[in-house]
Amino acid sequence: MPEMKTYAFGPAQDEKPRKIVLMLHGYGSNGQDLIGLAPYLARELPGVLFLSPDAPQPFEGGPGFGYQWFSLRSFDTDYMLEGARGAAPVLNAYIDALLAQTGLAESDLALLGFSQGTMMSLYAGPRRPHPVAGILGYSGALLAAEEMADPALHRIPVCLIHGEADDVVPVSMYHDARRALEQARYPVEGMTIPGLPHSIDEGGIAYGAAFLQKILSA
């Protein structure tokens, strides 16, 4: 697999996983941070391997602060989209290698993102050669919304969860993403959580676990 340090939780190394949840962390964070969700999600997902890689780029805020999928020096939509397009081949190569290594199909893999990781999941997931099981996105945004109606993209299930008090990625981004996905006929569901800032709470974990259970048992 491409050289991205990866944290894992799930079946023993000599036990073949039944399914995979690939977790993509947010801007300036790391894989170790997001893998902390795995023990809670795994209660509803026995036999599932959770993997959380460090993003490929060092965080532009300075050394020792984590990693990023792409630069966020500007929040201009076109700038972020260019960044996601540039990072997508690295993510796709990682997924290709992971599936080859485990012998699983794309339909056995779900993407879980937080913040910038959600942006990457929503960009790369529908554009994979074959449909992945679905996308669970926390506190993120949809880039290239106008492209989602492209018939070449896979209409995979999407679940979006967002805090209503998010002051990093405003909750309006949730509503914009959900509207665009619904108009493009994606199976989409989700929830907003009153009072929650840019974070994930127990209610969001439980809702997300139920979604993952549904798409990975289909």
pLDDT 10s digits, 97-147: 999 999 999 999 999 999 999 999 999 999 999 999 999 999 999 999 999
Question: What are phi and psi for residue 88, nearest 5 degrees?
Answer: -60, -40
The single residue of 115, 121, 139, 162 carrying the catalytic annotation is 115
Catalytic residue check, 198: yes
Active-site position among 25, 52, 121, 166 = 166
Look up 74 and say whether it is catalytic: no
CATH 3.40.50.1820 fits 6-216, yes or no: yes
> Per-residue pLDDT tens for 60-109?
987 777 999 999 988 888 999 999 999 999 999 999 999 999 999 999 99
Is residue 166 part of the annotated active site? The answer reads: yes
Contact 151/174 with Cβ under 8 angstroms? no
Query: Dmax of the chain from CA atoms?
Result: 45
For 13-69, the pLDDT digits (tens) are 667 899 999 999 999 999 999 999 999 999 999 899 999 999 999 999 877 779 999
Output phi, psi for 204, to 5 deg: -70, -35
Choose, from 33, 154, 198, 201, the residue flagged as catalytic: 198
pTM of the model: 0.96
Which residue ranges make up each domain of the chain? 6-216
Q: Which residue has the tokens 């026995």?
A: 46
